[in-house]
């Protein structure tokens, strides 16, 4: 049985993300793995910080997760729901499971924050982009429409889509149970993709001053339910100094964004 990993931190964003993942699980007949990363409590002392492994805290978190599992199982009896608590970070856990082909999809939430805090701190889902093999869906906190019918796949006219990448894209689309449309956002410094379309599928060209504006405009116009971005494995230097298109879209999109590794 295929598995969808869902990050849980008991925020409103997390609750919305779980509901979104449940709908995908129903359509794909997959099971849900609710993942909660434990954080060791910290005691401040004059000599510094001391991390304490609190058994009572762990038991309390376990109870919250089991209560959530029971609630979801009762409400959605046809969806199998498992839970896992660990001191691993969400990134470490997703990496381990995806390498072993234990999960088909990771679904993470995006809390509403100010533009300043987004710029400074980023988000877990945005920071995972381009670093793991498993497709990731980032769900905005205020996005309550959980039916996925149409997905826009944003492509670059400078690169071919390999057979392996094409297989991963279509496997993800089929898993979610949606139809796809390939879109190229043509900025002023690019050639018209339609003139040199090397892809064995139709591509919609959208002219725009920049990628973010173009994909956001077309997603709204075409009534898309999600945007799929092909992420690249950038260097640490790039991630530190250059804000990629993927991260910009994840942080600003009003609809879910699917990141798939190239």
Q: What is the pTM of this model?
A: 0.82
What does the pLDDT look like over 114-162, one tens digit per residue?
A: 443 343 334 455 556 555 678 889 898 888 888 889 999 998 766 678 8
Parent domain of 185? 3-261
d(CA 189, CA 170): 30
Tell me how many domains the chain contains. 1
For residue 64, the domain's CATH number is 3.40.50.12370
What does the pLDDT look like over 185-233, one tens digit per residue?
A: 888 766 554 456 667 788 898 999 888 899 999 999 999 999 999 876 5
Burial environment of residue 59 by CB neighbours within 10 A (0 to 12, 13 to 18, 19 or more):
exposed
């Amino acid at each position: 049985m295929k598995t969808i990993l869902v990050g849980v931190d008991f925020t409103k964003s997390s609750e919305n993300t779980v509901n979104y993942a449940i709908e995908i699980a129903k359509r794909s007949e997959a099971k849900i793995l609710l993942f909660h990363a434990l954080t060791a409590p910290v005691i401040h002392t004059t000599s510094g910080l001391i991390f304490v492994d609190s058994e009572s805290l762990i038991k309390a978190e376990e109870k919250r997760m089991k209560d959530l599992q029971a609630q979801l199982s009762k409400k959605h009896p046809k969806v199998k729901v498992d839970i896992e608590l660990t001191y691993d970070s969400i990134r470490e856990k997703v990496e381990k499971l995806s390498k072993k082909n234990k999960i088909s999809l990771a679904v993470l939430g995006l809390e509403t924050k100010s533009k300043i805090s987004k710029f400074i701190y980023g988000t877990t889902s945005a920071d995972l982009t381009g670093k793991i093999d498993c497709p990731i869906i980032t769900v905005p906190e205020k996005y309550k429409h959980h039916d996925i019918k149409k997905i826009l796949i944003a492509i670059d006219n400078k690169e071919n889509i390999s057979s392996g990448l094409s297989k991963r894209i279509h496997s993800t689309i089929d898993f979610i149970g949606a139809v796809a449309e390939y879109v190229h956002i043509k900025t002023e410094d690019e050639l018209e993709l339609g003139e040199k379309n090397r892809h064995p599928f139709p591509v919609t060209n959208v002219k725009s001053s920049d990628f973010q504006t173009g994909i956001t405009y077309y997603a709204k116009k075409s009534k898309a339910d999600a945007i799929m971005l092909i992420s690249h494995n950038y260097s640490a230097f790039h991630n530190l100094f250059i804000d990629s298109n993927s991260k910009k879209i994840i942080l600003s999109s009003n609809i879910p964004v699917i990141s798939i590794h190239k």
